[in-house]
Structure 1
Amino acid sequence: MNFIIDAAIKAVKHIYQTDITPADISLQETRKEFDGQITIVTFPFTRFSRKSPEQTGTDIGEFIKNELTEVSAFNVIKGFLNISLSDQFWINQLYKNIATEDFAIAKPNGKKVMVEYSSPNTNKPLHLGHVRNNLLGYSVAEILKTAGYDVIKANLVNDRGIHICKSMLAWQLFGNGETPESTGMKGDHLVGKYYVIFDKEYKKEIEFLKGEGQTEEEAKKNAPLIKQAQTLLQKWEAGDAEVLDLWKTMNTWVYDGFGKTYKALGVDFDKFYYESNTYLLGKDIVEEGLEKGVFFKKEDGSVWIDLTNDGLDEKLVRRADGTSVYITQDLGTAQLKYNDFGMDESIYVVGNEQDYHFKVLFLILDKLQKSWAKGLYHLSYGMVDLPSGKMKSREGTVVDADDLIAEMESTAKEVTEALGKVNDFSDEEKQELYHTIGMGALKYFLLKVDPKKRLLFDPNESVDFQGHTGPFIQYTHARIKSVLARAGVNSVAQQPTELAPEERDLIVLLNRFPDTIQEAAKGHNPGLIANYVYEVAKVYNKFYHEHSILQAEDELAKQFRLQLSTASAKVISRGMNMLGIAVPERM
């Protein structure tokens, strides 16, 4: 709305002989209880108008109304000047802007962003927490793309370490040569099964040693299984061919399983990084930090950084024996990612239990004067709970992602069939629809809330065709497509001259789409898109119920409403696609 800003600057200059800049003007959406679409806050202008906020608003409002033909009326409520734009302005917005093919798709802005998400361990299947992570990362990446950024989707796979060796050892001891092929299990589930077996057998050994008189800590260290797992890790790090061969085989099983889950979730990646390739990185950065005086050595030879002046504590960056700690690897990986892509921003999608770790990581890189450190961002998100309680993976009570997807499809099938909506669908079409609705319900429920909030996921609540849900929005899209399929949309030269309130409200809302995308991109918040699309669906349904489309009073009104319906379907579809949610043509 730059023309409003320009007119306001001109008004202040003309009335009060004062020069102001666009930065001095605060434009807001007019609150729903007042007339108007654009609001100018007039309080800041009273310092040179020497009048009340109300009188200042009236002065400026009268000038703008006389200056701009697009302005049909204004009103002033306290220090807020509410401006109404004419029906003709909104009709032009629909035909010349909203209805165009590239509406809300921003031109490239020259900025490159990496979004790193998923980051699974290769010792177990993906669970509900991973689902939120994957959906959040994918959606943020898609929003940034639409907002004009060049985006790289990255996945750092945790494919090494003691946890991997636990699954490998349990398979060696108890597996009897089982494979995904011989068992019919997905590979990630099979490997996860042995991670759980390790934990159960390890606990038995701990209890036995405690019965022999050892303390809990002693028993944990001395249990034969943990010692064997540590030996396996040492052999892996030494490059033992037999151990590496088993590691590669079991990881291949897991990657195949992950691939199927990623496909069902509808997420993808442009670049994979593997900890087995990156865990030795960072040692050069430690030397660099010592040279710059950012790090210091203790008497035992260990290397640290003192962050007490920054409100944190001392942090170990290299052990006395010269081996890396986790943050050493992260320092090196951050440098590697920048070397590979030279991005302006690097977003880490990781749960909020790692808030402290990322605060330390980013601070260290900043102190090392890495030019790209200011572009690092931790997209911290809260845990997902089910009504049954918190997930615990090692005990085999994990809420498995594949089970969750199957449950969502089953729930979607129940609800859809109960409503009798699929009587004329083939079996294949039904299965595709149940998957689309089930995944739409799951994704929308997890993405509509602010990422930082912990949330309770209720599968039944999420599949509600009348609620604040994905299926409600999907059904609205299908309804619009059904209307459009029954009536041909013609591009008419003639346009209406007046709008009904419901038509105007819908156009005003659709017009906000580009700004909403930019705001969601800036805040890394898919919830803004999710809630915006829900508003569009709600406002469209109100318009649909108030005004006949196919039986409109004349051909002009019919074609206009069809154009408005086409634009609404496009915005809903694009908005949902940014959330990774498919919208069916019919339901």
Structure 2
Amino acid sequence: MNLQATLTRVVKQAVHSIFNANLESVEFQATRKEFAGDITIVVFPMLRVVKGNPVKIGESIGEYLVENVEEVKAYNVVKGFLNVEIVDAYYVDFFNTIKDNNSFGFTSPKKDEKAIMVEYSSPNTNKPLHLGHIRNNLLGYSVAEIIKASGKNVYKTQIINDRGIHICKSMLAWQRFGEGETPESTGLKGDKLVGNYYVKFDKEYKKEIEALIAEGKTNEEAKKQAPILIEAQQMLQKWESGDKDVVALWEKMNQWVYDGFSITYKNLGVDFDKLYYESETYLLGKEFVDEGLKTGVFYKKEDGSVWCDLTEDGLDEKIVLRSDGTAVYMTQDIGTAIQRIKDFPDVGGMVYTVGNEQDYHFQVLFLILKKLGFDWAKNLYHLSYGMVDLPSGKMKSREGTVVDADDLITDMASTAQEISEDLGKLDGYSDEEKANLYKTIGLGALKYYILKVDPKKRILFDPKESIDFQGNTGPFIQYTYARIQSILRKAEAINGVSSSKIEKTFALQDKEKAVLKQLQLFPEVIQNAAQNHSPALIANYIYELVKEYNSFFQNLPIVMGNDDKASVVFRVQLSKTVGNTIKNAFKLLGISVPERM
């Protein structure tokens, strides 16, 4: 039984024994730093069942705890807050159980635990990945890793939007203006080459619109009648009917894009267990429309279209099949969700990482799947996130003003190089070591800056601000990790430092205890982050741990200037454990840590 559970049980006993009352629950919070104590019991909620002065009530409970809980050595009451002091031996025991555990905080999956599928990225194959995709990928990947660490099996997936009019626009522009160029002939990544033709299409389309308006057409008429758009629509019809030449061009250009995406994913440090393609899933779901018609979940209108009436659920009516029998996105998403359960029968829930502009879509999707009778539909979650802006403003793909993901990754490494060189900390590094370090710092800065923010909030991303070696940043935490590795290298010559057990009688300094108390929170933080689908909880936890460790480091000698062998052993082991926790927490965020910096 953990300490909080023990305190809960004994506090309830105390209230029953002293006041003849029954408490349903006990509220805890961290003790404020200006007061003595390690954990605080909030007395005010008890006043519902115990009448009297909260200070007197707190003192009575405090006396009872000192007498009945061996871990409690003292207490003090401030207004309605009972601050409890815990014996050092409790923290020393805890430390001895975790100091050699490299996976401290992580939970292994139970044998019969249902798996979770996490979908993220899901790009269109008409352009490279951009800054918005970076937030999507980082969130999805990190949430998958956190859920895995919380004790569940996880599958990472994406659905690639590889069909539709937007793909045909790039294809047609390449046919017209490409003169046969390829990624090999141009030296461009395939996704960038295809994206250039998407931009080219838009420029030509705008020229044709202007020409038609000059001939007397209205703006709306010109948009619909532009020859290049009509030709792209005809190309889409040919693709859907299986035209050999169009399908061959589609396969060739999509492969260019897939090859380009693979490079970006590798550089970003994300991966997938299963890929789905819209070209293979867009017809899925139709059979379940028929099932829904039979069970009354859907109804048919006079024109033959099929709808789901969700007005009683506070939503509206949603079309699931057009009058001509063709599917809509909702139909496809219904079918794809069901197909995933068929492909992975151990999956009991799914997380969809998609921007907040699709909030309503997922409300409807999840509700329809529940109405269709799928038990796993109650375990569907939309990981909704806000946009990422830059100081320079919004991005538009078709105008070519997006912040390209590859360029941003490269720029982050360059910014890290510039700042690192100014600080002059890299003497003795080879050029290759420097390049790897710049990439590690740059990517760490980018990932941490994005993931430390609650997913639902919009972000203004400032690259220079993210690469700061002070404050709540990735590089600050990476630097602390590297400093710890330096301490460990210096301590290697001291026999027994890395393995000796800490004696239960070891007396802790306040700064040491503060670090241990923060370490204790790690398993609970992982569970909370998994339940809330929030990497921000991990990021901000590790920042608090690093702050506590740096305060300990600055106030207490670890190896040099410390003549107490037991103290040296403990402080080196504590440093090592903090280093491992930083590394493990950052791994959940997809961030690497440098051994030297």
Q: Which residue of 2 aligns with 1:530?
A: 539
Q: Which residue of 2 aligns with 1:414?
A: 418
Q: SS of the residue aligned with 1:479? A: helix
Q: Aligned partners of 1:107, 1:471: CA distance in 2, in Å?
A: 30
Say yes or no: does 1:435 pair with 2:445. no
Q: Aligned partners of 2:323, 2:50: CA distance in 1, in Å?
A: 69
| Alpha carbons 1:283, 1:324 under 8 Å: kept | yes
| Alpha carbons 1:115, 1:348 under 8 Å: kept | yes
Q: SS of the residue aligned with 1:404? A: helix
Say yes or no: does 1:323 pair with 2:331. no
Q: Which residue of 1 aligns with 2:590?
A: 580
> Which of 493, 496, 499 lines up with 1:491 in the alignment?
499
Say yes or no: does 1:571 pair with 2:574. no
Identity of aligned pairs, percent?
Answer: 60
C-alpha distance after superposition, 1:418-474 (max 9, x if no partner): 111112111111111000000000000000010000010000000111121000000
| Alpha carbons 2:467, 2:473 under 8 Å: kept | yes
Q: Aligned partners of 2:498, 2:50: CA distance in 1, in Å?
A: 51
Say yes or no: does 1:363 pair with 2:373. no
Q: Aligned partners of 2:501, 2:577: CA distance in 1, in Å?
A: 17
Say yes or no: does 1:450 pair with 2:460. no
Letter in 2 for 1:570: N
Deviation at 1:16, TM superposition (A): 3.3
Deviation at 1:482, TM superposition (A): 0.4
Letter in 2 for 1:377: Y
Deviation at 1:9, TM superposition (A): 2.8
C-alpha distance after superposition, 1:362-408 (max 9, x if no partner): 12112222211111110100000000000111100110001100100
Matches for 1:68-79 after TM superposition, within 5 Å:
68-79=69-80
Letter in 2 for 1:218: E
Q: SS of the residue aligned with 1:49? A: coil
| Alpha carbons 2:356, 2:384 under 8 Å: kept | yes
User: Is the alpha carbon distance of 1:303 and 1:8 closer, same or farther for their aligned partners in structure 2, counting shifts above 3 Å?
Assistant: same
| Alpha carbons 1:27, 1:38 under 8 Å: kept | yes
Matches for 1:457-476 after TM superposition, within 5 Å:
457-476=461-480
Say yes or no: does 1:554 pair with 2:564. yes
* Backbone CA RMSD of aligned residues: 1.4
Q: Aligned partners of 1:189, 1:208: CA distance in 2, in Å?
A: 29
Letter in 2 for 1:196: V
Say yes or no: does 1:403 pair with 2:407. yes
Deviation at 1:20, TM superposition (A): 4.8
Q: Which residue of 2 aligns with 1:278?
A: 281
User: Is the alpha carbon distance of 1:494 and 1:474 closer, same or farther for their aligned partners in structure 2, counting shifts above 3 Å?
Assistant: closer
User: Is the alpha carbon distance of 1:493 and 1:161 closer, same or farther for their aligned partners in structure 2, counting shifts above 3 Å?
Assistant: closer
Letter in 2 for 1:559: V
Letter in 2 for 1:541: N
| Alpha carbons 2:91, 2:516 under 8 Å: kept | yes
| Alpha carbons 2:15, 2:21 under 8 Å: kept | yes
- TM-score, reference length from structure 1: 0.97
> Which of 513, 519, 522 lines up with 1:504 in the alignment?
513
Letter in 2 for 1:501: D
Q: Aligned partners of 1:548, 1:33: CA distance in 2, in Å?
A: 24
Matches for 1:38-187 after TM superposition, within 5 Å:
38-109=39-110, 110-187=113-190
Letter in 1 for 2:46: F
Letter in 2 for 1:52: N
| Alpha carbons 2:21, 2:50 under 8 Å: kept | no
Q: SS of the residue aligned with 1:372? A: helix
Deviation at 1:18, TM superposition (A): 4.4
Deviation at 1:312, TM superposition (A): 2.1
* Aligned residue-pair number: 585
Q: SS of the residue aligned with 2:245? A: helix
| Alpha carbons 2:119, 2:157 under 8 Å: kept | yes
Q: Aligned partners of 1:270, 1:100: CA distance in 2, in Å?
A: 28
Q: Aligned partners of 2:263, 2:8: CA distance in 1, in Å?
A: 51
User: Is the alpha carbon distance of 1:494 and 1:367 closer, same or farther for their aligned partners in structure 2, counting shifts above 3 Å?
Assistant: closer
Say yes or no: does 1:249 pair with 2:259. no
User: Is the alpha carbon distance of 1:130 and 1:377 closer, same or farther for their aligned partners in structure 2, counting shifts above 3 Å?
Assistant: same
Q: Aligned partners of 1:155, 1:111: CA distance in 2, in Å?
A: 20
- TM-score, reference length from structure 2: 0.96
Q: Aligned partners of 1:301, 1:411: CA distance in 2, in Å?
A: 59
| Alpha carbons 2:23, 2:46 under 8 Å: kept | no
Say yes or no: does 1:195 pair with 2:203. no
Q: Which residue of 2 aligns with 1:297?
A: 300
Q: Aligned partners of 2:369, 2:146: CA distance in 1, in Å?
A: 27
| Alpha carbons 1:98, 1:510 under 8 Å: kept | no
Q: SS of the residue aligned with 1:40? A: strand
Q: Aligned partners of 1:259, 1:165: CA distance in 2, in Å?
A: 22
C-alpha distance after superposition, 1:527-568 (max 9, x if no partner): 010011111111111111111111213111111100110111
Q: Aligned partners of 1:493, 1:432: CA distance in 2, in Å?
A: 37
Deviation at 1:361, TM superposition (A): 1.1
Q: SS of the residue aligned with 1:305? A: strand
Deviation at 1:173, TM superposition (A): 0.6
* Deviates most, 90-99 or 128-137: 90-99
Say yes or no: does 1:34 pair with 2:35. yes
> Which of 497, 508, 516 lines up with 2:525 in the alignment?
516
User: Is the alpha carbon distance of 1:313 and 1:69 closer, same or farther for their aligned partners in structure 2, counting shifts above 3 Å?
Assistant: same
Deviation at 1:99, TM superposition (A): 4.3
Q: Aligned partners of 2:498, 2:238: CA distance in 1, in Å?
A: 71
Deviation at 1:570, TM superposition (A): 0.7
Deviation at 1:494, TM superposition (A): 5.2
Deviation at 1:493, TM superposition (A): 4.4
Q: SS of the residue aligned with 1:507? A: helix
Q: SS of the residue aligned with 1:316? A: strand
Q: SS of the residue aligned with 1:569? A: helix
Letter in 2 for 1:45: M
Q: Aligned partners of 1:32, 1:226: CA distance in 2, in Å?
A: 66
Q: SS of the residue aligned with 1:395? A: coil
Q: SS of the residue aligned with 1:108? A: coil
| Alpha carbons 1:480, 1:566 under 8 Å: kept | yes
Q: Aligned partners of 2:66, 2:341: CA distance in 1, in Å?
A: 52
Deviation at 1:39, TM superposition (A): 2.1
* Deviates most, 301-310 or 191-200: 301-310
| Alpha carbons 2:99, 2:573 under 8 Å: kept | no
Q: Aligned partners of 1:500, 1:278: CA distance in 2, in Å?
A: 61
Q: SS of the residue aligned with 1:549? A: coil
Q: Aligned partners of 2:162, 2:196: CA distance in 1, in Å?
A: 17
Letter in 2 for 1:313: D
